[in-house]
Structure 1
Amino acid sequence: MNQDAFFTLTERLHSGLTGSEVLFSNLSGEVSDFVRLNRNRIRQAGHVQSAGLELTLIDGARQVEGRCELSGEFRADLSQTRHLLTRLRERLADMPDDPYLQYSTTPSSSDRRVGEASPPAAQVMADLIRAADGLDLVGIWASGDLSTGLASSLGHRHWHHSQSFNLDWSCYLETDKAVKASLGGLHWDAAALHHRLETQRHGLRVMARPARTIEPGRYRAYLAPAAVNELMHMLSWGGFDLRNHRTHQTPLLRLVRGERQFSPQITLREEHERGLTAGFTAEGFVKPAVVTLIDGGKFGQCLVDARSGQEYGEAVNAAGDAPEALALAAGEMPLTEVLARLDTGLFIGNLWYCNWSDPNDCRVTGMTRFGTYWVEHGEIVCPVKVMRFDDSLYHLLGDGLEALTSERELMLSAETYEGRATDSALLPGLLVSGITLAL
């Protein structure tokens, strides 16, 4: 469903409201190409075109929600959504008051379009297969248009449209020996794909060497952006939402209390103006361009969605309780100097299966798995057998942090449950004085 059809449909729905009823309509749609690859060959290709409309009917302090899929045929969609509205009205009469109901009563509007169309999937896949000749490549490509719309009977009219791509893949040497990579964004860059493939070829040559077994202990290390992304996922798990802070369940409680702090190099922001996500919430609130979560190592602001804002009397600045467009500020270390400044230690390309081992101390555990190498005197020597790490983020992002790279990598979520995800992260790599390997 396009923008004009969406607003025309919602205007028809608004004309059928009675009394003090308020209606919020949220559209989510996509036109996407998907390709799955295995052994550097296309194994499955598909095209998805879908749109769903969620209606929230409000009367006083009561609300009820419902959703339906749209066909793209206006008359049929109007009939279906009117039927859904009738059913919601029937249910609303039996609903209790919602003490945390909050929605914007101030009309607002926006129309934002980001990105550009990627080359056809067939063209990209042909280029990928040629460039990856001889590699055992497995992965998934997703590209196309994502649309989000909001209209309300109070006068809200918002539209967000993005065009993006995401390629997530691994190249295998044998069994579990592999190197992983991803490439995503708003503007296709074939040169970046070829560069990543050449880097993977080098990584596979290193992987072919006998793997080193190292003893548990603390090792000097460089964590590539993909590994940093896993640590950011852990911080996002309860680290920034207002409710967890007010109920003292956040893993950052000691940071908030001033008992611990991150390095002054750590500034973490939610950049709504940059992300693929819409700049408005389902309740009609306009998100600020930037929310500073951590400022120079100290805690900044919480993310506040509509319900938490109502419960705790804070202004709404987010659609949910976790970041959607996270950005870690860059540092001063060029990528070309990483190995020299690491000197001897671990180059960690990815982290896997992360979880809290002690949230009170912001302590995370997980596995090194793919793309971890032993470095001596600034040269990659050999792969390292899979190890489990267990360390506090107060160390990795605090007293153990030596440098951040000046270059950052944009990583898009590869999740496709109920549609392509729009979460993203813009992250540098980290050089740390030590990371603890447990076993």
Structure 2
Amino acid sequence: MSQFMSSRTGASFDWQTHFTALADAIERFQQGAELTLSSFAGEQSDFIRFNAGKVRQIGNVSQGKLTLRLIDGARQAYSTLTVCGDLQQDLDEVSAALATLREGLRGAADDPHLLVDTTQWQRVTQRSGKLPEPQALLRTVAECASGLDFVGFYAGGTIVRGFASTRGSRGWYEVDNFNFSWSLYDPSGRAIKTTYAGDDWNDAVFARKVEQTATRLAVLALTPRGLAPGRYRSYLAPAALSELLGVASWGGFSARAQASSRSELYKLHTGEVTLDPRVSLSEDLNLGITPGFNDDGYLRESVSLIHAGRSAERLTNARSAREYGLTPNGALSNESPAALAMAPGDLLEEDVLAKLDTGLYIGNLWYVNFSDRMNCRLTGMTRFATFWVEGGEIVAPLDAMRFDDSLYRLLGGELEQLGAHAELLLSDSTWGERATGGMQLPGVLAKSFELTL
């Protein structure tokens, strides 16, 4: 069910109890040697869109969906249902869906790469957060954004994920969190984007972020600095680095991509290339921002991906493990990290401009894609929140420019320092539902970063 209303509902629906009841019933519905894996995704979220510091759209969404995966021998079939919240109605839908899947399996071919975990386990993660009430948030934004051209989008509430196997495994993940991104515009049309995400809302922290961003609006009003193509000393803020690592992670840490020689980090994994020894990356389940289980029934644990500049492990899901003779480690079906974390360094935030001295301060990057996959070379655009710095002071905004550089260079020989604070950047995807996951990254001070036009 989907509900759109002006404010959060008074009582939260108990998705865990509902999913448990459905999982228990699915076990009773089993026939013969069948195995059913059930995956659940739900949320109760507030969404608020701002323009010119005023509310333009507000609503609350409560929704849930259940995916049934019926396995008989080496054959399998899937079905995804919208869960309405009425137990009997949902049970009727599940029973009918299983009957349809059972009929479909009769003529299905064997799946040669089918592999699921049939052990029994229990894992529950439940974390309550401190979230702003919508009406209180409206007052806070109105106060902090007074006199500013504030454009933003807030999404916050409870996200749930569940898993159940008719062999006895049960997993539940339920967290409260929020993600608020906004831009402050100056009359020229240029803007500075900022985000605030987490599970412990604080009005003072939000106000400070808005104030810090507003202090740089005066710089946006200055004549933009035009630069010739070339390599420039640069500091990339965590949000900018996340754009690069996000694209490199499409298949860069995938066991399947590596085994088929299509990984963007192929040369790193074969040892042909190494990064700076200070670079370590992991899929860090301890961040608690993604479930500790996957849809194949495997428990997920933290995985070291790059250690001291050298390739470590790959993310391996069950199908890749079956096809290439590997051991699954709980990776998601796309074998991309859902909780990518980079170890921080020693560059304090208050020292960034002084250490940069003269060069580029890059707040974020846009439209990133590969220009040369095998050399992990990425291209994209700088946009707003990119400034020219001289003598440790921001002196002008930068005209939007295209960059084209290799992640091997940026995190290899060109790496000068890593930020001392790793910022948590939660996924802001709301395509169909609010996503789990994200990254925790420091900023990067590089000796050079290449601009092409």
TM-score range, shorter chain: over 0.9
Contact in 2 for aligned 1:275/1:324 (Cα 8 Å): no
Contact in 2 for aligned 1:277/1:423 (Cα 8 Å): yes
Q: How many angstroms apart in 2 are the aligned matches of 1:146 and 1:300?
A: 32
Question: Does 2:338 match 1:330?
Answer: no
Question: What is aligned with 1:404?
Answer: 418
Q: How many angstroms apart in 2 are the aligned matches of 1:76 and 1:419?
A: 23
Question: Does 2:307 match 1:304?
Answer: no
Partner amino acid for 1:163?
Answer: D
Question: Which of 316, 326, 329 is the aligned partner of 2:328?
Answer: 316
Question: What is aligned with 1:433?
Answer: 447
Contact in 2 for aligned 1:335/1:407 (Cα 8 Å): yes
Q: How many angstroms apart in 1 are the aligned matches of 2:161 and 2:219?
A: 45
Mapping of residues 54-133 of structure 1, within 5 Å: 54-133=67-146
Question: Does 2:193 match 1:166?
Answer: no
Question: Does 2:251 match 1:238?
Answer: yes
Partner amino acid for 1:310?
Answer: R
How many equivalent residue pairs?
Answer: 438
Helix, strand or coil at the partner of 2:395:
strand
Partner amino acid for 1:431?
Answer: L
Mapping of residues 6-405 of structure 1, within 5 Å: 6-174=19-187, 176-288=189-301, 290-317=302-329, 318-320=331-333, 321-405=335-419
Q: How many angstroms apart in 2 are the aligned matches of 1:51 and 1:237?
A: 27
Residue by residue over 1:118-144, the C-alpha shift from the partner in whole angstroms, topping out at 9 and shown as x without a partner, is 021221222022101111111110011
Residue by residue over 1:277-307, the C-alpha shift from the partner in whole angstroms, topping out at 9 and shown as x without a partner, is 110011211011x111111110111101121
C-alpha RMSD of matched pairs (Å): 1.1
User: Cα offset for 1:5?
Assistant: 2.2
User: Cα offset for 1:428?
Assistant: 0.5
User: Cα offset for 1:313?
Assistant: 2.3
Residue by residue over 1:150-176, the C-alpha shift from the partner in whole angstroms, topping out at 9 and shown as x without a partner, is 111100111110100000111111354
Identity %, equivalent residues: 42
Contact in 2 for aligned 1:212/1:382 (Cα 8 Å): yes
Q: How many angstroms apart in 2 are the aligned matches of 1:2 and 1:390?
A: 46
Q: How many angstroms apart in 2 are the aligned matches of 1:367 and 1:207?
A: 18
Q: 1:57 to 1:310 in 2, by over 3 A?
A: same
Partner amino acid for 1:367?
Answer: M
Q: How many angstroms apart in 1 are the aligned matches of 2:407 and 2:38?
A: 41
Contact in 2 for aligned 1:115/1:187 (Cα 8 Å): no
The normalised TM-score by structure 1 is: 0.98
Runs of 4+ in 1 over 6 A off after TM superposition: none
Residue by residue over 1:206-239, the C-alpha shift from the partner in whole angstroms, topping out at 9 and shown as x without a partner, is 1011111111111001111110111111220210
Contact in 1 for aligned 2:235/2:360 (Cα 8 Å): yes
Residue by residue over 1:242-298, the C-alpha shift from the partner in whole angstroms, topping out at 9 and shown as x without a partner, is 11100111111111222211111110011122132110011211011x111111110
Helix, strand or coil at the partner of 1:273:
helix
Contact in 2 for aligned 1:220/1:346 (Cα 8 Å): yes
Helix, strand or coil at the partner of 1:248:
coil
Q: How many angstroms apart in 2 are the aligned matches of 1:376 and 1:390?
A: 23
Structure 1: runs of 5 or more not aligned: none
User: Cα offset for 1:117?
Assistant: 3.8
The normalised TM-score by structure 2 is: 0.95
Q: How many angstroms apart in 2 are the aligned matches of 1:2 and 1:117?
A: 20
Q: How many angstroms apart in 2 are the aligned matches of 1:322 and 1:161?
A: 22
Q: How many angstroms apart in 1 are the aligned matches of 2:145 and 2:288?
A: 30
Helix, strand or coil at the partner of 2:32:
coil
User: Cα offset for 1:326?
Assistant: 0.7
Helix, strand or coil at the partner of 1:398:
coil
Contact in 2 for aligned 1:114/1:161 (Cα 8 Å): yes
Contact in 1 for aligned 2:188/2:221 (Cα 8 Å): no
